[in-house]
């Protein structure tokens, strides 16, 4: 009886939640009217037109510029910014609204930290140096997920949704792109693993199964090769080396080199060098990039495999065939006995 009552009460609770959602949620008439009345802070802003982002605070100043090779970080040795971080920053500017005005009093700019002295100043411009967005990010609002904001030239202090400051106020290291390799998993057709002691070559056959072709021919363990491929396809760093000294990080004579040939014949190759024992990380280099990365040990372990690790155990296969033959023989003997009876 109690169980039935609980089910009924739960059903009523769900109906009430649905009622509240329909009449008070994003689909409600009031919410739709409110949404239509919200004015964008930068109504003409188009993120595809942005070619420069400048961020200035009381402690640092940097700028990002869009070039053919991606978004470059100024005053660095050609460091590229992570595309997803830049995209997130530009999308954030796009959704700024004047929906919640905290103050119109110029004297409030300092306590809200939306002035030049205390705020984080952001400028976004296009290729013709036309200003697309210019604003100041202030202190955190009443809730952790709100931030005071002011558009340059306006006295309005707005309360924007979200923790806006971390989106723009980053160090060079935080902005940097940690991507080592990025391609679709399942597109590798050939794989070569070379260590200081052996070289293993693998190739997909016509059925899409992995076969070891060197140093001997054998069937490969699909799960082991798949783990290598998945790790390789989205390999990311956790940090960067201090410089580009190959010898210093043992990349001149790497412990491991992994070469992958994709379906479109494109070659991807990484070198794995010295291990930082204190951090339990390895120095890794994409041969096509100048940067030397630091990668967690567990990721390297997924790719650092020996011939024995990758080779399908023949004994298991033979044992399986032997068992099948025994079953067939036992079945035949049983049928013969039944025929005699």
Q: What is the pLDDT of residue 14?
A: 58
Question: Per the structure block, which two tokens stand in for 67?
Answer: 């070039």
Residue-wise pLDDT tens digits, 183-238: 999 999 999 999 999 999 999 999 999 999 999 999 999 999 999 999 999 999 99
Sheet containing strand 131-140, edge to edge, reads 70-73, 61-67, 52-56, 120-125, 131-140, 146-151, 157-161, 101-103
Strands 188-195 and 239-240: unpaired
Domain ranges of the chain: 47-175, 188-313
d(Cα 338, Cα 341) in Å, to the nearest integer?
A: 5
Q: What is the pLDDT of residue 69?
A: 86
CB neighbours (10 Å) of residue 287? 12
List the Cα angle 86/90/95 in 5-degree steps.
145
pTM of the model: 0.76
Residue 223 CA neighbour count, 13 Å, CB half? 2
Is the separation of the CB atoms in 285 and 294 below 8 Å?
no
Q: What's the residue count for the chain? A: 341
Q: What is the pLDDT of residue 338?
A: 56
Q: Spell out the per-residue pLDDT of the chain, length 341, in tens.
A: 455 555 455 565 555 544 433 333 333 333 333 445 578 999 999 999 999 999 999 889 999 999 998 999 999 999 999 999 999 999 999 999 998 999 999 999 999 999 999 999 999 999 999 999 999 999 999 988 899 999 999 999 999 999 999 999 999 999 999 999 999 999 999 999 999 999 999 999 999 999 999 999 999 999 999 999 999 999 999 999 999 999 999 999 999 999 999 999 999 999 999 999 999 999 999 999 999 999 999 999 999 999 999 999 865 555 455 566 656 665 665 555 555 55
d(Cα 303, Cα 282) in Å, to the nearest integer?
A: 12
């Amino acid at each position: 009886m109690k169980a039935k009552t609980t089910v009924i009460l739960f059903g009523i609770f769900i109906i009430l939640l649905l009622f509240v959602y329909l009449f008070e949620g994003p689909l409600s008439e009031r919410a739709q009217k409110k949404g239509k009345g919200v004015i964008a802070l930068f109504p003409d802003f188009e993120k595809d037109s942005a070619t420069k982002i400048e961020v200035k605070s009381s402690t640092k100043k940097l700028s990002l510029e869009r070039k053919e090779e991606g978004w470059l970080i100024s005053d660095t040795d050609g460091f590229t910014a992570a595309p997803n971080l830049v995209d997130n920053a530009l999308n954030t500017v796009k959704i700024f609204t004047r929906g919640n005005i905290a103050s119109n009093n110029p004297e409030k700019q300092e306590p809200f930290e939306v002035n030049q002295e205390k705020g984080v100043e952001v400028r976004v411009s296009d290729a013709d140096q036309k200003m697309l967005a210019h604003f100041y990010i202030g202190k955190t609002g009443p809730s952790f997920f709100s931030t005071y904001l002011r558009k340059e030239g306006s006295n309005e202090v707005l309360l924007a949704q979200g923790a806006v400051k971390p989106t723009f106020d980053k160090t060079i290291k935080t902005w940097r792109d940690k991507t080592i390799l990025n391609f679709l998993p399942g597109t590798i057709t050939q794989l070569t693993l070379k260590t200081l002691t052996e070289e293993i070559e693998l190739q997909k056959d016509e059925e899409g199964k992995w076969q070891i072709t060197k140093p001997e021919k054998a069937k490969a363990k699909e799960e082991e090769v798949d783990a290598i491929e998945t790790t390789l396809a989205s390999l990311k760093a956790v940090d960067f080396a201090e410089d580009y000294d190959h010898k210093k990080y043992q990349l001149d004579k790497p412990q491991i080199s992994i070469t992958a040939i994709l379906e479109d014949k494109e070659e991807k190759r990484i070198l794995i060098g010295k291990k930082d024992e204190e951090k339990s990380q390895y120095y890794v280099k994409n041969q096509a990039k100048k940067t030397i990365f630091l990668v967690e040990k567990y990721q390297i372990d997924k790719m650092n495999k020996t011939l024995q690790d990758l080779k399908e155990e023949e004994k298991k296969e033979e044992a399986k065939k032997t068992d099948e033959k025994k079953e067939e023989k036992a079945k035949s003997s049983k049928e013969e006995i039944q025929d005699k009876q």
